[in-house]
Amino acid sequence: MRRIRYYSHGGPEVLVVEEAAVPEPGPRQVLIRAEATGLNYVDVQIRGASETSFFRRPVPAGLTGDVVGIVERAGEGTDRALIGTRVAALAEDACADYVVADADWLVPVPASLSPEAASVLPTMGTVALGALRLGRITAGDTVVITAAAGGIGHLAVQLARHLGAGTVIAAAGSAAKADFLKELGADITADYSQPGWADQVRQAFPGGVNVVLEAVGGSILLDCIDLLAPFGRAVGYGAANGEWGNVPLLRLTALKSLSAFSVLALRAAAPEQARGNIAELALLLQSGELRAVTKTLPLADIATAHRLFEERSVLGRLVLTP
């Protein structure tokens, strides 16, 4: 089978497609024959990380992702009835023709869903919905979503409306993404690559906004906290610019709150809620109320995929197919 590896940190050129033996599933694992694998931007940060970076990981390494496909084998202690079923799963080594994944968090995939759309179920859709719920959206709230054109952000724009948001402000790193965000249902768009972007939002909502979903980090996170109204809630779930940043406590003294969301933390703390979120997302995708926007490339074009990530030109989710 083919798999993707890199043996040194660096640019997209360090990614190689190599031949390897089909892996064997271990206890409480399954082997999935991949139909598609949704890529994660964080792997760009890990692959290119400097020696002092928070994102630095040992090499050789593979790439994470959400694999969609058919269960071919079941490891020890795993229900053999899973063999032959269509599933999606978050995997640590996801970019290959065959992928091993934990059986405990397999997501059933209806036949009506394309593999590309189903790839958002295990992680991206769950982050978007879980982070919005952590922000405690109530009917009529004004919500700001940063990195809104990305894999998680474009789902969050739609889900914010589903949860009752009155106004959705979609912020992205270029003005070129505005039309895409409006098509998703955003009321207002903002370009946070431009100085004064937060002032423009503040002029439109002088009393502040109620909820912020933030995935850029650094100064953008601070801008977003400053946009909050009293009792406003900011939820962070990523740091696309490479730094989480420090938030002085004084920035929160105006009755504001800041929390952070993790899918793995939700699975550990509230597994039934996590499973319920996935089931809800599947229904929304099947009904067409939620639209997963994807761009597909073949597995062999992994370096091209990472270059697109680095150019910040991807709208929605980037997916590899065999």
Q: What is the mean pLDDT of the chain?
A: 96
Q: Which residues of 286-312 are buried (b: 16+ CB within 10 A; e: fewer)?
A: eeeebbbbbeebebeebbebbebbeeb
Residue 244, pLDDT score? 74
The pLDDT of 231-250, averaged and rounded, is 87
Report the CATH number of the 125-264 domain.
3.40.50.720
107-139 pLDDT, tens digit per residue, is: 999 999 999 999 999 999 999 999 999 999 999
Which residue spans of the chain are classified as CATH 3.90.180.10? 2-119+294-321
SS3 assignment, position 183: helix
Tokens of 92: 């640590």
Residue 255 in this model has a pLDDT that exceeds 90: yes
Element (H, E) at 160: helix 153-162
Rounded to 10 deg, the angle between the 197-204 and 218-227 helix axes is 10
The pLDDT of 147-151, averaged and rounded, is 97
Residue 54, pLDDT score? 84
Task: Evaluate whether 114 touches 321 at the Cβ level (below 8 Å).
Answer: no
Which residue spans of the chain are classified as CATH 3.40.50.720? 125-264
Cα 43 to Cα 309: distance, rounded to the nearest angstrom: 10
The pLDDT of 198-225, averaged and rounded, is 96
Q: H helices of 237-320, where? A: 263-269, 271-287, 302-310
Residue 245, pLDDT score? 75
Residue 242, pLDDT score? 73
Give pTM, 2 decimals: 0.96
Residue 224, pLDDT score? 96
Residue 261, pLDDT score? 97
CATH superfamily of 2-119+294-321: Medium-chain alcohol dehydrogenases, catalytic domain (3.90.180.10)
